[in-house]
Structure 1
Amino acid sequence: MSVADLYTFAWRHAAKVPEPVLRAAGTLAADAVWLRRGAGVRRLESNYARVRPDLDARAVRRLAREGMRRYLRYFREAFTLQALSPEQVTARVRAEGIEHVQPTTQAGGSAVLALGHLGNWDLAGAWATPHLAPVLTVAERLEPPQLYAEFVAFRRAIGIDVLGLGDDGVFRDLVRGAADGPRLLPLLSDRDLTATGVEVDLCGHRARVAAGPAALALAADAPLVPVGIRHERLRGERRRRAGSAWGIVIRFHEPVPRPDGVDRREQIATMTQGWVDALGAFLGTHTADWHMLQKVFVSDLDPERYARTRAEAGEV
């Protein structure tokens, strides 16, 4: 059975399994992966150590265990999300700082959301479409193509419209989508090792993230709103309505100011650092919700390859 077949099977059958059973199985699988301490877990620990210099190695190791549990929780929730009722989705989500985005969408405008790989962004999107504005985003083209098609079908089923990363005219389509508001345009942007990325300071370390949120906000004349998403345990009546022990909190931060008197490249760099500052502060408090099992900090990259990336970007 291929990876795509496994995902398809999970999307079609996971919702038939009682939630406590799925929760226990997810925790068991996460702990097993954590105990093996493969490359992904070691990278997660390394990333956590950089954003939490106050922790010793043992504490980072424990934090990574919780991080893996939350990462597997994201997949477990994704596989059952299509089967949830609107009332269950509403009960699983709590929004903070909604005043930073709601006036824009209520006036018929669009907002660009800068996201990290935090919490459950698919659940956030399923909630946002009926409560704030239709969601339009970009998804990486996964291999094999069948797997990508499954992810696109899944996200469209929960109310998220998807464009393929790297497709011709995708940035133009995002700008058009923003103009055809109200709309939310969330972009997962906390890792971008291409020549189009921007080098920033993340929690006191150099990292390379995507320029897309700032560039799109400028091109679409839309506010750039950093967003943090974290898990929270549900109790009482809300837990009963949600049909789950866990939900999420979506934190909308204040829009990033747009600098004047500088060229577009400098505007993008400054605004990108602005939303990364919000991300860094969020990571310091909610580290285990960051599902980053890949290299993001410059010091972890191959020096020669990164030098070529910077040269292609005209940075050296």
Structure 2
Amino acid sequence: MTSLSERLSAFGYLTAWRLAGWMPRSAGSALFSLGADLAVRRDGGGVRQLRRNLQRVVPQADGKELDELTRRAMRSYARYWLETFRMPSTDQGEIRGKVIATGAENVDAALAEGNGAVIALPHTGNWDAAGVWLAGHTGGFTTVVERLKPESLYRRFVAYRESLGFEIVPLTGDSSSMRVLLSRLRENKVVCLVGDRDLSGSGVPVKFFGEQARLPMGPARLAATTGAALIPAGCWFTEDGWEVRMHPRIRVTNRAEVPAATQALADIFAADIAAHPADWHMLQKFWPADLEAAEQLSASEAS
């Protein structure tokens, strides 16, 4: 049964979708930036967690610098949502024309080998804009999305991304999504996965900005199983568009190499995030130390 909060959330998203597509870009940008600034002033849980995450990325920043970085990161996050809501009404050729893509030859070389490519990237910049470029370059790709609630909101996001040329596979918690991805790679196609959040709780331990974290094993495991090229990618905003970088492939030939390959992914993600920290949209608890602290606080409050 759909809860009241889920229904309100869906109503908010769908309303923003309509309004953002209707209003001029300049007005939408001003409105969403104002919303980001108000969120920073309210200092809710997501903003506080974003600030803690960014503190690990730029440990040398003092309090004032960290506050400014958090404000810019929230504005970047708001820009992502504004662009998401406006993208269905924007010509895809116009979107691709504003993407600066480097490293495309790494994807081309992988497909020339005939075993497909697994592109893994973090929650940075606008991955939908990057996906529009990738779909235009390769003829399409397959990705996995979390099954949102309520169902109406999930269907809206699926329809949106399918309209951009993405094949969407729902994250179901069983092996069905993995089977689809394996099939696509064996057909010499591209699979694109956001790889910096471990939603399963069984990810690979890695060092990330000097502290233990977990990343999903899916990208490296898919590459090891199929022989596909594992290609790290990053994306971030430019003044009037986006930049996408496809790094050289990470070699992973068997499952024993999955932990090392995942650590190599973490290292490349960290380097790109450190270069563009305001464009990393991580408002959730990411490091196990934060998750454990939250669990201990809940336990103490319950006792």
TM-score (structure 2 length as normaliser)? 0.90
Q: Which moved more, 1:280-289 or 1:53-62?
A: 53-62
User: Is structure 2 residue 38 aligned with structure 1 residue 48?
Assistant: no
8 Å contact 1:133–1:184 — kept in the other structure? no
Cα deviations by residue, 1:2-61 (Å, 9 ceiling, x for unpaired): 322332333344222111001111111111101111111111111111111121122111
Aligned match of 2:283 in 290, 293, 297?
Answer: 293
* Equivalent residue pairs, number: 289
Match of 2:250 in 1: 256
Match of 1:127 in 2: 133
How far the C-alpha of 1:194 sits from its partner, in A, is 3.3
Unaligned runs of 5+ in 1: 234-245, 307-316
Match of 2:230 in 1: 224
8 Å contact 2:250–2:261 — kept in the other structure? yes
Cα deviations by residue, 1:259-294 (Å, 9 ceiling, x for unpaired): 6xxx72x31111100111100111111111100001
Aligned match of 1:103 in 102, 109, 120?
Answer: 109
Distance of aligned partners of 1:2 and 1:222 in 2 relative to their CA distance in 1, 3 Å threshold:
same
Cα deviations by residue, 1:160-214 (Å, 9 ceiling, x for unpaired): 1111112541101100011223x32111121215342111001111111111111
Match of 2:20 in 1: 14
What CA RMSD, in Å, does the superposition of the two structures yield over aligned residues? 1.9
8 Å contact 1:23–1:73 — kept in the other structure? yes
SS at match of 1:53: coil
Match of 2:182 in 1: 175
Aligned residue type for 1:220: T
Aligned residue type for 1:269: P
Name the % identity: 37
Distance of aligned partners of 1:177 and 1:167 in 2 relative to their CA distance in 1, 3 Å threshold:
farther
Distance of aligned partners of 1:178 and 1:12 in 2 relative to their CA distance in 1, 3 Å threshold:
farther
Aligned match of 1:76 in 66, 78, 82?
Answer: 82
Q: Distance in 2 between matches of 1:72 and 1:280?
A: 22
Q: Distance in 2 between matches of 1:11 and 1:220?
A: 39
SS at match of 1:2: helix
TM-score (structure 1 length as normaliser)? 0.86
Cα deviations by residue, 1:83-136 (Å, 9 ceiling, x for unpaired): 111321122211012221122235655210111110001111112111234120
SS at match of 2:244: strand
8 Å contact 2:285–2:291 — kept in the other structure? yes
Q: Distance in 2 between matches of 1:153 and 1:103?
A: 31
Match of 1:136 in 2: 142
Aligned match of 2:155 in 129, 149, 158?
Answer: 149
Match of 1:35 in 2: 41
